[in-house]
Structure 1
Amino acid sequence: MARWLRALLAVAAMLVPALLHAQSLESVLSPGRLTASHAKWEDECRSCHVPFDRAAQDRLCADCHKDIGRDMRERTGFHGRQKAQPCRACHTDHKGREARIVAFEPKQFDHTQADFALRGKHRQTDCAKCHETGKKYSAAPADCNACHRKDDVHKGSLGAKCASCHGESSWKETTFDHGSTRFALTGKHADARCDACHKTGAYKETPRACYGCHKGDDQAAKGHQGRFGEKCDSCHGDRGWKPSSFNHDTDTKYALRGQHRQARCNDCHTGPVARVKLGTDCWACHQKDDKHKETLGRDCGSCHTERDWKEKAKFDHDKTEFPLLGAHASTRCDACHTSKVFNEAPKACIGCHRKDDRHEGTLGTDCAACHGERDWKSTAGRFDHARTRFPLRNAHAAAKVACKDCHRDAKSYRPAPLDCLSCHRKDDKHEGQLGAKCESCHSDASWKNARFDHAATRFVLLGRHAAVECKACHKSARYTDAPRECIGCHRKDDKHRQVFGEKCESCHNARAWTLWDFDHTKRTRWPLDGGHRRVACADCHVRPAPGGKLAAPLADTCVACHRKDDVHDGGFGTRCEQCHGVEKWKKVSNRVMRSGATP
Structure 2
Amino acid sequence: MAQSPHGDALKIDCVKCHTSESWKVNLKTISFDHNSTGFALNESHSKTDCVECHKTLVFNQASNQCASCHTDLHNATVGNDCARCHTPKSWVVTNIPELHEENGFPLVGSHKTLNCIECHKSETNLRFDRIGNECINCHRETFNNAQNPNHVTGNYSTNCIECHNPQLKEWTPSNFNHDFFPLTQGHNIGDCNQCHTTNNFTDASPDCVSCHQTTFNNTVNPKHADAAFDTDCKVCHTTNPGWKPATFDHNFFPLTKGHDVQNCNACHATTPNYATTPTDCVTCHQTDFNNTSNPNHLVNNFPTDCATCHTTNPGWTPSTFNHTFFPLTQGHNLPDCKTCHTTNNFTDASPDCVSCHQTTYNNTTNPNHVAAGFPTDCMACHTTNPGWTPATFDHTNFPLTLGHNIADC
> Per the shorter chain, which TM-score range?
0.3 to 0.5
| Greater share of helix | 1
What is the TM-score normalised by the length of structure 1? 0.32
What is the TM-score normalised by the length of structure 2? 0.43
Q: Which has the larger radius of gyration?
A: 1
Relative contact order higher in (CA < 8 Å, ≥ 6 apart): 2
